[in-house]
Chains A and B, each alone.
Chain A
């Protein structure tokens, strides 16, 4: 028994160190954004909210934040619609081998390194004058976000009892009422988590965005990347904290709404 507790103690110590490692970057960004110095020294020696003031009054930061939001919201709508439809299509396709090939194709953007896709998209967008446009950002981010919707809706469909659809149809419900009253309510947790993934994917995306931005249109992570490589200004920390706050709120809302759905049932 003594041996067992010693092993467990070692395991715990090791894991706590790993845990600190995992969350250290998240933990220091927040206090760093409240520093009163114009440098990125941690821990800060005095406190102030001046970097938040700068973030919210500087038009370039605000425009970047607005762009990120606009792009992410459109990406969520497009990739959730397209991805959910695709997952349903894959699920209903009776030729399983062909469906597996198409599914692999739809998920490929997750496996292919972003930088390879980035130079290809850069070249195409240059040709079609999509660089630095909202449409360009939306198309590029949707390709990365859509696979996550397909994955999570497919997972939801795996536990889906098709006899319910058959039952609805046999009771006389048409195609659309069956979908909205039977299918959709049962797979909605998958759709919601896919949409959340899509939002976070778009909101965080840097590599593609660095290539397709223009001096007139860039997203928040691109602006941050530029800031980090050029100067060391704690406004980055304030921006980082804002991004974290936004993604956390979105994820918590998503989780809560999914839990409520479960409780109602």
Chain B
């Protein structure tokens, strides 16, 4: 900074009196709690309160009691919807991983220009809205759409690619793929490639060196990518609503139906609680896995 010191400021000796009592020496500025206050007010008012309201409704609407939970766990149809939601989320996660892992690896080993292109391609979906992408998939996947015409040229199809699970998976994987690629890339780019070379120079075949050295070192990226994708997939609404079929509903569509069409607030709240609990359990489990994989890596690091 080329600015002159403030006029009137004593230059020779620093005034220690500026530091107010109670604050940590050297820290300037306002009490941290005061700075946090507006954000906390927003979170409490528009996040915690609405969530608590939904939870309360699940045990109090239409009357106080556990009838909504009995309704949910007592019907095989409801459990099937929960099972389908978990299954689709799991499938999306696995497909994303299978597509993203080689892609992220190529980003690491490619030259700077190719890498920049690969990064831009991953980021484009980020600033194309979810609504637009789901809409575009409807056009691409319809019976007379581009995908089916292409399949026709190579002698396949036509297939029903829309209004079913296939359509939902195609759309969801495309939306969620960047959330798998980016954590994978950030971990992979930090892997010391000399370790792989060392394994090869000690006589490991390239494939073996890749599987036993590189893959374990990339595990933190795999875990956090899977976590991000799975949790988002559980709560997906727009894409399944537009590309799926009402007979193969996911839990978020079911919540919408209960609240908006049937005005069953209590049941909607119950479904929300179930979805939230499932999400939190997964967060916990995957968090533990992440810690374990980190520990594992620590040991391996010592061994090397």
Contact = CB atoms under 8 A, between A and B. Distances in A.
On whether the two chains bind one another, the answer is yes
Interface of A: 3-4, 7, 11-12, 14-15, 18-19, 21-26, 28-29, 32, 40-43, 81-83, 85-86, 88-94, 99, 102, 105-106, 108-109, 111-117, 119-124, 139-140, 142-143, 146, 150, 162-163, 165-166, 168-173, 175, 177-179, 181, 183, 200, 203-204, 206-207, 211, 221, 224-225, 228-229, 236-237, 240, 243-244, 247-248, 251
Overall SS of chain B's interface = helix
B145 interface: yes
Interface stretch (B44-52, B74-82, B157-165): B44-52
19 contacts: A15-B103, A25-B128, A88-B32, A92-B27, A92-B32, A115-B252, A117-B47, A120-B50, A120-B54, A124-B53, A168-B28, A170-B18, A172-B9, A175-B29, A178-B28, A206-B130, A224-B135, A240-B132, A247-B127
Contact of B127 (A11, A111, A178, A248): A248
Contacts, number: 278
Contacts of B231: 111
A89 B255 contact: no
Nearest to B117: A19
A28 B5 contact: no
Nearest to A94: B24
B149 to A, nearest CB: 9
Overall SS of chain A's interface = helix
Nearest to B19: A169
Interface band, chain B = 35 or more
Given A108-B43, A108-B47, A225-B238, A171 B9 contact: yes
Contacts of A3: 206
A25 B132 contact: yes
B232 to A, nearest CB: 8
Given A142-B42, A229-B242, A173 B6 contact: yes
Given A90-B36, A112-B235, A124-B46, 16 more contacts: A18-B100, A22-B178, A85-B39, A89-B34, A90-B32, A115-B252, A120-B51, A143-B46, A162-B26, A165-B26, A172-B6, A179-B28, A183-B29, A200-B127, A204-B131, A207-B237
A111 B279 contact: yes
A-B pairs, top 9 by smallest CB distance, nearest first, are: A113-B235, A120-B50, A89-B35, A172-B9, A25-B136, A86-B39, A170-B14, A89-B36, A89-B32
Contacts of B132: 25-26, 29, 224, 240, 243-244
Contact of B54 (A85, A86, A119): A119
Nearest to A91: B32
B9 A179 contact: no
Given A113-B252, A113-B279, A117-B51, A42 B139 contact: yes
Contacts of A85: 35-36, 38-39
A102 B9 contact: no
Contact of A116 (B40, B48, B128, B235): B235
B269 interface: yes
B54 A113 contact: no
Interface in B162-183: 174, 177-178
B102 to A, nearest CB: 5
A88 B14 CA distance: 25
Nearest to A211: B260
Interface string B122-152: 1011011111111111111010111000000
Given A92-B29, A123-B54, A123-B265, A228 B242 contact: yes
